[in-house]
Structure 1
């Protein structure tokens, strides 16, 4: 049970890090945002 809580806490911590990195990326010049947009909106082959 303790291990399950530890795994959950680790997942939450990693999710928080990902969130902080994405916020940091959005605060940067938007070249990364442009790359993400082009990946999402690229023509389907």
Structure 2
């Protein structure tokens, strides 16, 4: 069971990194929305 986990974690990590890199170039609008949400969360935390 542990061997399967150790094998799947790097695959998932590589897939996430691949989609993240692709996402930056494909979905700039979504990135801006996420950044605005993060900014709003930060302002809420500070205030």
Query: Is this a same-fold pair by TM over 0.5?
Result: yes
Distance 1:19 1:29 in 2: 15
User: Which runs of no fewer than 5 residues in structure 2 stay unpaired?
Assistant: none
TM norm structure 1: 0.73
Distance 2:27 2:11 in 1: 26
Distance 2:29 2:2 in 1: 39
Note the alpha carbon deviations across 1:2-29, whole angstroms, 9 max, x for none: x323211201100111111111110114
- Larger fraction in helix: 2
TM norm structure 2: 0.70
What is the aligned length?
43
